[in-house]
Amino acid sequence: MSLTRANTEAELVSRQKSRMEAVSMAVTVVGSNTDLNSPIGFAVRKMGGTVSSFSSVADADLTFLDEEDFDQFLDIAEYRLMLNIKGRWGMVDMRIGPRSENLSQFAEDLERDIARKLSDLQSMYGFGGGSLEAGVVDYDFAETDED
């Protein structure tokens, strides 16, 4: 089974629908939701793939994923989606006479969930950490003894 753009959108919207609606992001899942291009493209690139168009990730861009990588891919895309939601949230607490609205609570909850998601990505997949590679340097010369 291969992952499609519409499947990806459906999963991301199911995870973050209320937050997406709060910041006026589209919650359509037909495979062309422009608000989900950035999170999906980010996840593709972080998983070692490439996208043919930065502004429109296509089904073909997801074909490199193996089924065992789907959860990691979706978790990375959700992480980026949460960051995008945070970037669009501009509400602050308001108080007018006896009436008050604590709109910063949304941002605080989102920030806490972003930190938890990043921690999960790091512990489950090693996301964001450096990689160690070993090798040999060959200078292609030999030392000779002049005696």
Averaged pLDDT, groups of 10, the chain, 147 residues long: 92 96 94 96 95 91 95 97 91 65 80 96 86 70 69
Helix axes 37-46, 70-88, angle to 10 degrees: 140
Q: What pLDDT score was predicted for residue 130?
A: 62
Q: What pLDDT score was predicted for residue 93?
A: 57
Q: What pLDDT score was predicted for residue 71?
A: 97
| Whole-Å CA distances, 103 to 22, 57, 63, 91, 107 | 11, 33, 41, 6, 8
For the record, the structure tokens of 70 come out as 């789907």
- Give dist(CA 29, CA 31) in Å, integer: 6
Q: What pLDDT score was predicted for residue 125?
A: 93
- Give dist(CA 17, CA 27) in Å, integer: 7
Please answer whether residues 128 and 72 qualify as being in contact, where contact means their C-beta atoms are separated by less than 8 angstroms.
Answer: no
Residue with tokens 């089924």: 67
For residue 94, what are the β-bridge partners?
A: 101
Decide: helix, strand or coil at residue 91. coil
Q: What pLDDT score was predicted for residue 100?
A: 64
For residue 96, what are the β-bridge partners?
A: 99
Nearest to 65 by CA among 85, 86, 89, 44: 44
Overall pTM > 0.85: no
Q: What pLDDT score was predicted for residue 8?
A: 97
Q: What pLDDT score was predicted for residue 33?
A: 96
